[in-house]
């Protein structure tokens, strides 16, 4: 029987060859929002690695919507062709690729992670013509400046920016579009009562706080081709008392599904630095329960993400009905061939027939030249892993 992880999934007019998705990871390598050679290599290697779907990093719908100063963007027409170059390569390898559209809101303007990821100062933002925006003038944390509360014209402009970026995403040839409504960025900050203190139609009760998310989703679905899937990333919970909760996410997921969203990509936290750390204790598959709750409560396909480490674990998440897709990020950076190695772990692709032919032919020769040594080594590793798992289980029972 084919493992569920490597069974196809049809979403509207797109059929994914497997359920492995490369989750967005900001690279801070764009030039004025344009993709560079780094993006071609970074994203292209995952197509060689066998992922069913690759998602770009957070791609800003306006210059001030960037998380970092060197993030991708689709706010201008000249940004289309550099991304199309990446899309074209992925398609040439038989892969599918999606773009994640976002507006960072009050968390815009941060340094690269390897420089600490700190908030840029107001002077530096002003020098770049940036400003932080939010539902209310409430900062994301002590290190962040207070954002400018969007007025009605500003809200209309943001909604229009998402629609315009969607049309550019279609021009670039993307197969999937994902809306980033999580992690404390602009739309997430409208959803949470901790950051949204408005008293107009875009604040107040839950219905008002959901209004911007629903309006953007409706505009994007209208602009995005009917045959192409639309994903939406949500933070299932804020992780703070009085904040956005799982029940809220289930309701929002139902409403998004009714508007034509096909998959909910389920993460958590991120409203502030504190909620990013404390939303849920970290551990293998720590967010899968949220994906399961939304999948069941909203009757919508979900994508699980967060410390999914290997093929057997990913297969169990799917078999247990927690999600329909498995998103990996850091594990894929560590091993771009994670999907192909997961297939081997689950008993598939021992002859390298599924690998890119330019690689597979050499790996097959390696297998032949080393005779049974590799098979024996794999068997030894499998036994060692089984022994380790059994010992850990017995130790847990003794405690």
List, as one string, the DSSP characters of 130-183.
Answer: ---EESSS--SSTTSPPPEEP-HHHHHHHHHHHHHHHHHHHHHT-SEEEEEE-T
pLDDT of residue 123: 86
pLDDT of residue 275: 64
Structure tokens at 103: 């507006």
51 torsion bin: left (phi>0), alpha (psi -120 to 50), beta (else):
beta
Q: Where are the domains of the chain?
A: 4-348, 350-399
**What's the topology of domain 4-348?**
TIM Barrel (3.20.20)
pLDDT by 10s per residue, the chain, length 399: 899 999 999 999 999 999 999 999 999 999 999 999 999 999 999 999 999 999 999 999 999 999 999 999 999 999 999 999 999 999 999 999 999 999 999 999 998 889 988 999 888 888 888 899 999 999 999 999 999 999 999 999 999 999 999 999 999 999 999 999 999 999 999 999 999 999 999 999 999 999 999 999 999 999 999 999 999 999 999 988 899 999 999 999 999 999 999 999 999 999 987 666 556 788 999 999 999 999 999 999 999 999 999 999 999 999 999 999 999 999 999 999 999 999 989 988 667 888 888 888 888 888 788 867 777 776 776 677 666 655 544 444 333
50 torsion bin: left (phi>0), alpha (psi -120 to 50), beta (else):
left
pLDDT of residue 108: 95
pLDDT of residue 397: 38
Three-state secondary structure along 14-71? EEECCCEEECCCCCCCCECCECCHHHHHHHHHHHHCCCCEEEEEEEECCHHHCCECCC
Global pTM reads 0.92
The one catalytic residue in 185, 202, 337, 352 is 185
> Token match 């990446």: residue?
86
Angle of helix 152-172 versus helix 206-223 axis, rounded to 10: 30
185 given a catalytic annotation: yes
Q: Which helix (H) or strand (E) holds 327?
A: strand 325-328
pLDDT of residue 363: 86
pLDDT of residue 176: 99
């Amino acid at each position: 029987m084919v493992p569920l992880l490597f069974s196809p999934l049809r979403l509207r007019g797109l059929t994914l060859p497997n359920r492995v998705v490369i989750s967005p990871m900001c690279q801070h390598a764009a030039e004025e929002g344009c993709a560079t050679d780094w993006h071609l290599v970074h994203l292209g290697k995952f197509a060689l690695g066998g992922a069913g779907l690759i998602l770009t990093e957070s791609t800003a719908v306006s210059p001030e919507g960037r998380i970092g100063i060197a993030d991708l963007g689709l706010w201008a027409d000249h940004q289309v062709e550099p991304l199309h170059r990446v899309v074209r390569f992925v398609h040439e390898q038989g892969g599918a690729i999606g773009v994640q559209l976002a507006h960072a809101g009050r968390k815009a303007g941060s340094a690269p992670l390897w420089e600490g990821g700190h908030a840029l100062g107001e002077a530096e933002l002003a020098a770049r013509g940036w400003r932080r925006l939010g539902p209310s003038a409430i900062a994301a944390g002590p290190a962040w400046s207070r954002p400018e509360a969007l007025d009605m014209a500003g809200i209309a402009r943001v909604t229009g920016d998402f629609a315009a970026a969607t049309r550019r995403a279609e021009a670039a040839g993307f197969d999937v579009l994902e809306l980033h409504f999580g992690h404390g960025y602009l739309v997430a900050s409208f959803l949470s009562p901790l950051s949204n203190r408005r008293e107009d139609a875009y604040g107040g009760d839950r219905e008002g706080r959901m209004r911007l998310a629903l309006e953007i989703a409706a505009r994007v679905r209208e602009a995005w081709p009917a045959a192409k899937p639309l994903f939406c990333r949500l933070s299932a919970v804020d992780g703070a008392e009085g904040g956005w909760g799982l029940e809220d996410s289930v309701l929002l997921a139902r409403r998004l599904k009714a508007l034509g969203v096909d998959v909910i990509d389920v993460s958590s936290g991120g409203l502030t630095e504190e909620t990013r750390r404390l939303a849920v204790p970290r551990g293998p598959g720590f967010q899968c329960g949220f994906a399961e709750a939304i999948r069941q409560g909203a009757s919508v396909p979900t994508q699980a993400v967060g410390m999914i480490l290997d093929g057997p674990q990913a297969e169990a998440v799917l078999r247990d009905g927690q999600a329909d897709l498995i998103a990996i990020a850091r594990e894929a950076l560590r091993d771009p061939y994670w999907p192909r190695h997961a297939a081997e772990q689950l008993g598939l692709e021992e002859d390298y027939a599924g690998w890119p032919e330019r690689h597979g032919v050499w790996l097959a020769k390696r297998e032949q030249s080393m005779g049974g040594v590799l098979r024996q080594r794999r068997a030894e590793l499998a036994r060692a892993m089984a022994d380790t798992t059994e010992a850990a289980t017995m130790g847990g029972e003794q405690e």
